Amino acid sequence: MPVIIRFLLLLKPYYRQGAAIFTLLLLSTILTVATPFFYKELVDNGILMNNNTVLLRMLGAIAAALVLQELIHLWQVSLNLKVRKGVFLGLRMDVYKHLLTMPPGFYSQHHKGRLLSRMTSDVDAVQNLVLEKYIGFVHSLLVALFIFVVIFTLDWQMVFAASLLLPFLYFLYRLFRTGIAALGRQAQEEQEGLMERLQEDLSMVRAIQSYSVMEDRIQRTCIRMERTEKAKNRLNMRYSAASSSTIVLNVIGLLIIWGMGGAAVMRGSMTIGTLVAISFYLNYTVDLFYSAYNIVMGFQRSKPAAERIFEVMDLAPVIADRSDAVEPPMLAGSVEFRNVSFAYPGGRPVFANVSFTAHPGEVIGILGPSGQGKTTLVNLLMRYYDPDEGAIEIDGLDIRRIKLECLKTKVAIVPQEDYLFNLSIRDNIVMGRSYLTEAQIAEACALSRVDRFAPSFEDGYETIVGENGMRLSAGQKKRIAMARALADNPHVLIFDEATSVLDEENEREILRSIRTMARERIVILITHKRDNVTGAAQIVHMADGGLKTYDGYEEFVRKCVKKC
């Protein structure tokens, strides 16, 4: 579907405002077309006839028409702003919500800064594409249509002469269209690259300051800024050249009006008032052609940004609910991996034919060095990806047949890196889940031992933690992440290298908490430390591209200790 049609469909919910805007356009068009008639009467029957009554009447009519046009314009602008707010707020939210549905693998292939550019710079670039430029284009067509009819009744020869300019206008459009579209895309891509650079520098500011590389990063970012500005300047120059190229047509239009019109007045076949009226009309027409031409060029300028927005919107989530997905009221049984194989797109297999079963009340240790696929294994359970072969079942039900929203409440993860928002401790635990009760929150805080430190702060659970929890210790951040995962009382709780950044004391406390949490649920503990899985009922050891399972720590030590 053409981009402009897709954008116009965004206006569908605002059909009432659209009807009002169109009505105002008609009124404005009528006033625009009527005003030259008032000038004709003013000259022919007022000034030339020495008729003060007609003179005053026409002056009043001209003043009223101009004031009404301005009032209509202001009313139209107010409606435009309301529609713009709704359309583009909705568009930004649609892009934002769509990006949130994409799996983590999507973000390993797309830089966040570039995606932010799609939501900000690209949407800003296309705002005029739908509203002001589209409305201006419709207004130009309406006025041109009315004027052609009026001028045709006054002097069809001048209409024919003015129409000869249209092929030249189309030629100029064809000449500049492709270049402006290409430069527009280049400018948006450079802006996207700049956003990527800025987002990366700000997120890595500690590393930049720690290694005395600030000057180098500033220099590289300045180069990116210069490239972006140069791309914008090239686009603006091309656009200005396209706009200026119509000056020849303006000159020709003036020659037609006053050359043919002046000759007609001298022959006596046309009154001076009629010439004045026609000059107004043809000036309007030439200006309208010029305006319409610039609007079409504006479409070409904004089109690349629109295409880039829909490129994101057209990306279908790789992981989605199947048509036969269900929402089971309870999941409380075993988790079984049956002959599961997986490889990232275009990559070698991460693992093949993985099979093991985890029962409620057990801690399952997934042990092995980095890069062996431990996190990938549990990412399949979270349905960040789907296995290439085999199946993962909970309570005998393939997780691909469980609705994603339901699965997220049954399987929770405490990641290696704690992601905290610049909100209160409570808000970081609740995470917008309004259905959580005070009892659930209190239980989660007790299990994770957040209740041991949160009340000691001056504002208690309302204490703002700072960006990514910068006001908290590593152990405190980890316990808040645990409380967040426990709040939904998940059946399966995953700890992905959750103690790797903690000191020994905090690590021991977290491990004791994990064993407590396993009494009523399945706990999967991913680690590269052998001592962390001493109490595991089952150990899945991943190394050298292979995978073996052991019934408890003693069997693991007896059979695998030399390899570990």
Provide the H-helix boundaries in 14-155. Answer: 15-41, 52-100, 104-107, 112-117, 123-130, 132-154
Highest mean pLDDT among 3-7, 238-242, 410-414, 506-510: 410-414
Q: How many CA atoms lie within 13 A of 439 on its CB side?
A: 0
* pLDDT tens digits, one per residue of 157-179: 766 766 676 777 677 777 777 77
| Beta-bridge partner residues of 538 | 364
CA-based nearest residue to 112, from 232, 184, 203, 190: 203
HSE at residue 556, side-chain half, CA atoms within 13 A, is 26
**What would the pLDDT profile of 446-485 be if each residue is shown by its tens digit?**
888 889 889 999 899 999 988 778 888 888 888 898 888 8
Is the alpha carbon torsion for 401, 407, 410, 413 positive or negative? Answer: positive
* CA distances for 502 relative to 374, 477, 510, angstroms: 20, 10, 9
Cβ-count burial 71-86 (b if 16+ within 10 Å, e if not): ebeeebeebeeebbee
Q: 36-81, pLDDT tens digit by residue? A: 888 888 888 888 888 888 889 988 998 999 899 889 988 988 888 8
pLDDT of residue 63: 92
Is the distance from CB of 131 to CB of 84 less than 8 angstroms?
Answer: yes
Q: Cβ neighbours of residue 458 under 8 Å, at least 6 residues apart?
A: none
Looking at the DSSP bridge assignments, the partners of residue 526 are 366, 496
Helices first, then strands: H and E counts in the chain: 20, 10
User: Is residue 464 classed as helix, strand or coil in its secondary structure?
Assistant: strand
> What does the alpha-carbon distance between residue 382 and residue 548 come to, in Å, rounded to a whole number?
22
Q: What is the pLDDT of residues 10-32, one digit of tens each?
A: 778 888 888 888 888 888 888 88
Residues 295, 296, 298, 304, CA torsion sign: positive
| pLDDT > 70: percent of the chain | 87
**Does the structure show a pLDDT above 60 at 5?**
yes
352: which residues sit within 8 A by CB, 6+ positions away? Answer: 341, 389
Task: Kindly give the pairing relationship between strand 335-343 and strand 389-394.
Answer: antiparallel
- Residue 511's H or E segment, with its range, is helix 504-517
Q: Supply the angle between the helices 272-313 and 247-267 in degrees, to the nearest 10.
A: 160
Among 456, 445, 513, smallest CA distance to 480 is for 445
Mind spelling out the 3-state secondary structure of 214-256?
HHHHHHHHHHHHHHHHHHHHHHHHHHHHHHHCCHHHHHHHHHH
CA angle centred on 24, ends 18 and 29, rounded to 5°: 125
Compute the distance between CA of residue 29 and CA of residue 252 in angstroms, rounded to an integer: 25
pLDDT at 132 over 70: no
What's the average model confidence in pLDDT over 309-319? 78
| Rounded mean pLDDT, 288-306 | 70
Whether residue 83 contacts residue 14, with contact meaning beta carbons closer than 8 Å, is answered with yes
